[in-house]
Amino acid sequence: MLTRISFNKYHPGYFEKVGMRHHHLKRNQSFCSTCSLDKLWTLVSEQTQVNAAKNQAGAAPIIDVVRLDYYKVLGKGKLPQQPVIMEAKFFSRRAEEKIKDVEGACVLVA
C-alpha cells in the first residue's frame, strides 16, 4: 500500500503543497550587492582618474560606492598606486588591506 509520504517521495510534486507554510516570508534579507576593487576604479569618470594621476598634493578622489548602488567592496583585482578614499557600508578584509596599501582610506557609511 502506498502512503502519501512514500508516494510523494517517489513521485515528487504530485501533491503540490507538502510541509509547513511560512506566512509573510521575507526573502533575501541579508542580500548585499557587491563590487570588486578593479571594477570600482572603472566606474570613476576618466576626468577624475586623470586628475588623480596628475595631483601631487596628496588629495585623493572620493568614491561613494553606495551612490553607485553597491554596498560591499570586495578585494578582487588591483588598484593603481595612488591614494583613494572609498565610502561603503561594508568592506572585506582583503579590500581594506589593498586600499590601505596604496595610502587610501576606507570610510564606513550608514
> Average pLDDT in the 11-40 region?
82
Mean pLDDT of the chain: 85
DSSP letters of 22-89?
Answer: -TT----TT---EEEHHHHHHHS-HHHHHHHHH--S----EEETGGGT--EEE--S---SS--EEEES
Residue 98, phi then psi, degrees to nearest 5: -65, -40
Q: What is the dihedral of CA 23, 28, 29, 30, to 10 degrees?
A: 150
Say which range, 2-11, 28-37, 69-78, has the weakest mean pLDDT: 2-11
**If pLDDT is split at 50, 70 and 90, which confidence band does 17 have?**
low
How many angstroms separate the CA atoms of 56 and 93, rounded? 28
Confidence label for 16 from pLDDT (cuts 50, 70 and 90): low
Beta bridge partner(s), residue 88: 108
Q: What is the pLDDT of residue 105?
A: 94
**Which residues sit opposite 86 in a β-bridge?**
63, 106
Q: Which amino acid is at 107?
A: V
- Residue ranges covered by each domain of the chain: 22-108
CA distance 28 to 47: 37
**For the domain 22-108, what is the CATH code?**
3.100.10.10
Q: What is the pTM of this model?
A: 0.69
